[in-house]
Structure 1
Amino acid sequence: MTDRASARAAKSTLAARFAADPGVAGVGLARQDADYVVRVDLTEADTDGRVPRDVDGVRVVTHVVGAVRAL
């Protein structure tokens, strides 16, 4: 079971790694079943291959959300 503190640390690692990547729209935490996971929102499906499936034992999930624009 992944606790929130471990997931936050993994989120920080990924957020720093993808801060300047235009293919990543956001990095956050999510709950799946009883575990916390890091959720990476992508602008395009082909970006998925660059995102690891696991960071420091914390599962990483991706979702393609498309381009994010200000209203």
Structure 2
Amino acid sequence: MTFKRVIVHPMYQDFHTTPRIYFMGEYNDHQQLINVFNHTHQKLKPIEGTYQWELLDHSVVYFVEEDSKFPRKTM
């Protein structure tokens, strides 16, 4: 299992005008993103077939992409 910072973009907002937001991504041994956690350690739920993740308590949807500048860390 590895952890890596991911970049998230709130859906339905212009990606180029909103500041970058970083959450923590958890990857399995095959380097597939399996969990995303926000800065308050709330777990986001993936939306099947997309790169979108939903924060259930707040009904906020994010587009998630890998941050290539941040190395993966094994735990």
Q: Higher strand fraction: Structure 1 or Structure 2?
A: 2
| Greater relative contact order, per chain length (Cα 8 Å cut-off, separation 6+) | 2
Query: TM-score w.r.t. structure 2 length?
Result: 0.30
Q: Higher helix fraction: Structure 1 or Structure 2?
A: 1
Query: TM-score w.r.t. structure 1 length?
Result: 0.31
